[in-house]
Every structure is written in C-alpha cells, then in structure tokens.
Amino acid sequence: MALDCIFHAPYRLGCDVFHLNWWGESGLRPFNRVSSLGTTRRGLVLFRAELRRPIDQRHRVISSVSGISQKDFNSFPRPLSVADFSAAPEDGEKVRISFKGLPGSYSEDAALKAYPKCETVPCDDFEDAFKAVELWLADKAVLPIESSSGGSIHRNYDLLLRHRLHIVGEVQLSINLCLLALPGVRAEQLTRVLSHSQVLDLSDTFLSKLGVTRENVVDTVVGVKFVASNELRDAGAIASARAAEIYGLKVLAEKIQDDLDNVTRFLVLARDPIIPRTDKAFKTSVVFTLDEGPGVLFKALAVFALREINLTKIESRPQRKRPLRVVDDSNTGSAKWEFIIIVIFHFIILTTMWLYPFLIYTREYPSNAVVHCFMHECRYFDYLFYIDFEASMAEPRAQNALGHLQEFATFLRVLGCYPMDTTSP
C-alpha cells in the first residue's frame, strides 16, 4: 500500500515530473530507490503533509526535496503539436529547394515566393530535381504542373507517379515575359530573339510586330546567359526581370505575352507528408485507375459530389507501361494484354504457310483477323486519372470519399494533402 501511494501520488498532486524521474537515475533523491522501510515512511509523511498545502506551493516542496530548481523543469522537451509537423517556416530559412533551370528562372521565382529566405538548388532536368530531394541534397523541390496558357505539363505528372515524393504545397505565380538585351541596345536593333519554344509562342504577336528571327533554347535563362556571355548586340532574350538583374541585361519591354493574365501553378514536393489540418483551406491530390465499364468514371466522380467536395482539376494520362486495354464481349476489360501481342500474331500469320487458307477465307488484313478472333475488341488506352479536390484528409468527408472510391478503383494513391495558395499570383 505504501508503494502504491508513492507511485500514484504525483498524479494526485498534478505533477508528472516526479513520476518520470522515478524510473531514472536523476530522479528525486529520497525516493529514487526504496532501500529501507524508513525511507518509505518518510515519503508517506511528506506526501500527507504536502496534500495539506495549497496547490501553488506543492511544486516548491518537490523541488526542494530533489535538489533541482524549478527553472530546470522548464528545460524539459515540450510535447509536439500539429504545428511541429506542418510545412517549413514561412520564410523558408535554412531550407534547400531544388528546381529545374538556372538562377533567374520562373521556377526559382516560385520557390522564392513560397520560401523567401530559402537556398535554391538549380538542376538540369525535372527528374534531377526529384532525385536531389530523394538523395537529401535538397529538402524540397518546386516544379510547374500547369499554366493558364499552355495547360498541363504531362511530363511532371508522370514523374509524380514514378517517384515517391509527397506534395506539401502549391504556388501560383503570375508570369511576366520581358524582352531583354544588353545595356544601350534598342529593340529596333535586334534581329533575333532567343527563348524557350513555348515562351516564343506565347509572345507571337509582339515578336511578329518586331520582325525578328526566333531561336529556340532549352530554357529561358539559357538564352539570357548566351546573350550576356557573348555580348550579342543584335540578339535579345525573353525571360523574367529578375534574370536581367542577375546577368546584367536591360529590360526593353514587359508583359509582351499575348495573354496578360498568364499564371503558372507550381507544386512543392518533400520526402515526408505534412499532417493535414482543418483550421485552414487544404487541397488533396490523388491518382487512380478504373476498370472498363459503363458509368465507371461517373461513379468515381460521384463519390465527391455526394459529399459536396469541389473538384478543382481532373487530368487523364494513358498508362505508359500498359497502353492497351483488351475488352471482351461483356464489356469488361483487362490491361494484361500488351500491344506486342498484335505484332506477334501478325508475324505468325505472315510467316506460316499453313495459315494461308485462313487468310483467304477471312479476306481481311491479317492483324485485324487475329484481333477479331482472339481479342474480340481493343480499346486504347488504359488511363490514369489525376484529381485535385478542395478538402483536407483530416475531414471525415474526404476520408469517406476515398474509402468509397477505393471500392471500385483498381489503383489509388494519395499524392499529397497540402495548404491551398490563397495569395495573389
């Protein structure tokens, strides 16, 4: 009974520090070992007397007995909260972010918008930006996923599925295309302009009026760097105003794109997901596949509508490893057959003499006959569906929607649950 009082008295006192130290060597000295009956009795007397004291004086007694000052208790680690597992600090201090391109690119602008004090890590390719995070060379990666003028960037959708990084944020950036040249050069002196092919297309009206030759480069900043390093006075480049500052060029014209409200959406990726919250607007991105059948896609989208969840984006992509779905007479399909099967049967028919009467009988093209006889019907393609919806995975309605979707989805993966970018582009 005496030991029971010693073990449980700290909880009655509202102080669990004594209980924590009871099991360690640095515990309260009179009670860290029950070495004699006298020690136990002294402990009981102390606690009985302690219970008679006002509650604001009890910690003082425990501190005096242990020989540890009250301020030492404040140095104990505090319990972790949801904020500890959320996104990095808003300014991004001490955060390394990888991106595709050179310093001054729009991807770096997006990274600096999300984390103003971050350290950027330029990469040669989008996949290199993924690998930089996976190899711990960077903490996060920023990559464009869609733009209001060019649509979705399919290459990056494929990379999202191939790699195991998690979406932890999004950034919407207004794209301001600027014509850059060496200091002292006027726009009328230019005979050619260098930039990315898509950027040149977006500035078609302006460049047509200028009457210059267009030269494609792999990245907007590559053109800027080429003009600056070679001191070309007859050539200009199209890039951001920040690129002009970095490489010592002058801005001749701003907002030269045909669509003045051009906005690009970027995703922020990390090795670990963040804990979803309900105190701010969150968005969730998922990818899934479905079996063939009438109304299957309708059923998949209905799980969100039934719970009043708003879909902000839906994207379909053919599966690159399984491009062909074979469907039988019952209109149920399987993606196990590959396109190579058609080629094999085609080769067999053309090279086997004993099948010649069969070809004469069908009077059809050989591959069509084989497909008709062995496969009944073929449908291209077997699709992946990417969906963004406005809900946090901490909400029961989002959990129930994905649980419902999983009942008839052949594959389902949550790419990330992250705060929505509610700032102006």
Active site residues: 264, 266
Strand partners, 167: 269
Tokens for 314, please give them: 């839906």
Place of tokens 């491009």: 323
Tell how strand 151-152 and strand 235-239 pair up. unpaired
Instruction: Write the Ramachandran bin of 53: left for phi over 0, alpha for psi from -120 to 50, otherwise beta.
Output: beta
> Residue 52: how many CB atoms within 10 A of its CB?
6
Please give the DSSP secondary-structure letter assigned to residue 364: S
Distance CA 332, CA 257 (A): 48
Tokens for 355, please give them: 């099948």
Distance CA 163, CA 273 (A): 14
Distance CA 38, CA 47 (A): 14
Place of tokens 């060019």: 150
131 phi and psi, to 5 degrees?
-65, -30
| Helices 37-51, 2-12: inter-axial angle, 10-degree rounding | 30
Smallest CA-to-CA distance from 83 within 279, 282, 269 is with 279
Place of tokens 């090279």: 351
The DSSP H or E segment spanning 301 is helix 296-305
Please give the DSSP secondary-structure letter assigned to residue 403: H
Is residue 132 helix, strand or coil? helix
Dihedral sign (CA 76, 80, 85, 89)? negative
What are the helix and strand counts (H, E) for the chain?
17, 18
Distance CA 58, CA 297 (A): 65
8 Å CB contact between 212 and 228? no
Compute the chain's Rg from CA coordinates.
33
Please give the DSSP secondary-structure letter assigned to residue 94: T
Give every CB contact of residue 90 below 8 A, 6+ residues apart in sequence. 115
